[in-house]
Structure formats: structure tokens, C-alpha cells
Chains A and B, each alone.
Chain A
Amino acid sequence: GQNIDQPTEMTATEGAIVQINCTYQTSGFNGLFWYQQHAGEAPTFLSYNVLDGLEEKGRFSSFLSRSKGYSYLLLKELQMKDSASYLCAALKGGYQKVTFGTGTKLQVIP
């Protein structure tokens, strides 16, 4: 399988910056997704990284290092509405599926 590891829970303060890490098996790796999921709702797409480096989209940025099997999602200027689970997911070459990690539940506190 495509083992994906990310922290179970994190807490951060409103207005601050938080980094959510994700590690994965590099064998056959083709790309990495980040999704946001509010409790009981559908996951919504945040980013997709194929090449090494940082991609920025407003307050959210995603970084990938293919050689290290490592990615992170960076959330800036945290807002209360950012409280959600963040799912790291990997695409493996030749496999017709996207494999998800168990998610990191982020709580933003005032």
C-alpha cells in the first residue's frame, strides 16, 4: 500500500501560522493532494503537488519533497473557520486510486 503518516491532532491560535506535515512511501509516487474536510462534510480540494517546491494559494501553501517523501500544508493568518480535518493523499503510478492518510484534525482557538 501507500503508507501515509500525518499527525492526528493539532491546535493553533487564531491569526497564527500552522504547518501540517505528511510523509509517504516514495516508491512509485506520482503526486500528492491536500484536502480540507469539515466534520460530516465532503472533502474539498486544496492543492496538488507533483514537482518539488512550494505552491502558494492565498493563505494556504503546500510543499513537496519527492526525494524525502515529505509534504506539508502551511496555513497562514488562521481563522476560526479553518478548524477542520486536513487530509493528505497520494497518487501512485499505475494504480487507479488516490490513497488517503487518516487526516489531521486542526482546532483553531481564539
Chain B
Amino acid sequence: DGGITQSPKYLFRKEGQNVTLSCEQNLNHDAMYWYRQDPGQGLRLIYYSQIVNDFQKGDIAEGYSVSREKKESFPLTVTSAQKNPTAFYLCASSIRGQGAVLHYNEQFFGPGTRLTVL
């Protein structure tokens, strides 16, 4: 059963602590993405990776870090430098991150992780 998994579903952390959110896909997709969703706002891109061992900052990368050591995994660390970390975090993947075959850019999402910082 192919898909994208995110764990855990709910995460609670104390202010000042770093926390890592997991994202795994078995779709053999090259590109992976992290978004943040806040009430009343559209999805905002945090980081993306078009290939293993390479990643790029999105629109709101400050206070976050990522790694892409394996094709199927793209973990996101929310650091203590992120001023408002409480949010719903969504991971997505696509066959490719760019290219002439447009449908390769279709992004498929995981179920999300709700992070609450107390």
C-alpha cells in the first residue's frame, strides 16, 4: 500500500525544545516538501528537496531544518529559534520537482502532524 506517512499525529513539546517530525514515502518519488498550515491561511512552504542529499529553503524556512539522506525520508526539525511553532505540519511528495512532464509535479500529502508547544 503506497503512500506518505507522518508521525506522530499529535506532538506536544515545551517551549525551547527542538522537535523532529517524521515523513516517509514509499512512492519512489524524487521530490519531497514540508508545509505549515495555520488557521485561515494557505499552505506555506518551509523546505523542499528535489533529490537525495539536496534541499532548498521555501518561503518560511527560518527556525526549521531538514535532511534528505534517503529518498524515502525527509524529516523536519522545528528548532527553538522558531517563534511560533504551534501549527499543523504537512509533508508532501511528487514524482519530480521540476520538468517538462507537468503531471510529475502533482503533490500528494501525508496525514499531517499537529505540533503544540506549551
A and B together in one complex? no
Give chain A's interface residues, CB within 8 Å of chain B: none
